[in-house]
Structure 1
Amino acid sequence: MNKNIYLHIYNDYTERILSGTIAAGKKIPSESELAEAYDTSRETVRKALHLLSQNGYIHKIKGKGSFVLDIERMNFPVTGLISFKEVSERLGRATRTILYENGQVNSTAEIARYLQIQPGEPVWKVVRAREIEGEKIILDKDYFVTSVVDSLPTQAASSSIYQYLEEDQKLTISYAKKEISVEEVTAEDELLLDLHDYRHIVVVRNYVHLVDTKLFQYTESRHRLDKFQFVDFARRVKKEM
């Protein structure tokens, strides 16, 4: 038997996925079924499935099997500061913002540390789900320092906070530090998002500064694992000798 049979299985399934023969979300045959179909070992099949998973074609769910990912996942920029409203306009897909919470709360020790303020100081807290094509796949949790943002109307929270801050509050938002991690889903994620069987979520933390370097916003943006690929453009700068 060809020792590269795993590549044959990999190429066979990438072709089927790319052509749409196997639709996004569909379960592919089990390891034992594939081993029988290709007359090979489960170890070889496992190698092919690992390659499919590694290259973003399938997602393995423990105890349930392997499922085809949406290869037309929405690109989300890693660098740059852009609002969801601006992103949704680029996507060209049906989107909706669901506002769960908007009001002042006393900061927890954790949020105070993120915003470099004293625990218990009031902050604006905004919790929103982002729905794309009928599925709630992003949970945004925003915290704003009240000494900078003195008001935050419901209309702005439901639409575009950045538009309100820049046009009405005349704030100049300049830059952010971003941290990206993959974490286990929380009870809140399960309650507010359409997670299906995904047990992990991509978390993007933003620490946002004004043009005068003032840190005024902490954002935790929680993305369903299968729907986004985070993209950036990098250019190598050759060191001069």
Structure 2
Amino acid sequence: MTRQFFVGGNFKMNPITRKDKLALVKVLNDAELDPAVEVVVSPPALYLIPLAESIRKDIKIAAQNCYFKDSGAFTGEISPAQLVDAQIPYVILGHSERRTLFHETSEEVAQKTSAALAKGLSIILCIGETLHEREAGETGKVCQSQLKAVVDVLKKAIGGDSSYPKIVIAYEPVWAIGTGKVATPQQAQEAHADIRSFLSKAVSSAVADSTRIIYGGSVNGGNCKELSTLPDVDGFLVGGASLKPEFVQIVNSKKQ
């Protein structure tokens, strides 16, 4: 099955100023981007609506997080319903920084995923192991456990398997995020193939074949081309490099 290549840019808590944001938007608006690639960028919440209004229409916008309630006394949170109302189509959930720094459990990520899907949002669902877990040979076990929480929730949700086309799975080894260390092509392919195998057994072979599994972890202009050729790598979730002109090179990695 041919899966559309996907490149996401996670700006995290950047850019710092509006001037920085405008400069970044200009680079993206002026760039020649591969039209075959789905491109999604994720700014801080403060910039979601201004970015959606100023960036070219073939680039989609994602929130970096959301809560599982539609409204209420939840200071500092954004609801799926609010994102839909603001015409923000995507949300990143389960990012390692949310799991490690803010102690979100896989069950909480699954609850958020179900709530976001119920409102019609598309999800960039992040999973991945720490360095300790990698060295202990637990990569597959960790990724499967994080995914199983979502699979179990969706089995009970309205829509069930029909929700999976709206989920992009981002494999992000925690030890490679922001460190300059990158999983070798062999490590990335093995992890992605294992995730696809798990989906085939836990959900269905059709879902496994059609679900996009992207890689994140110090992706840059220098390593994107080789990674993009791997059979089970369907794109990237880019951190720091998404704030630089080389993000365009990453988006275009399949046609270089």
Higher relative contact order (CA 8 A, sep 6+): 2
Q: Choose 1 or 2 for highest CA Rg.
A: 1
- Determine which structure has the larger helix proportion and give its number: 2
Asked if these proteins are the same fold (TM beyond 0.5), I'd say: no
TM-score, normalization by structure 1: 0.27
- Determine which structure has the larger strand proportion and give its number: 1
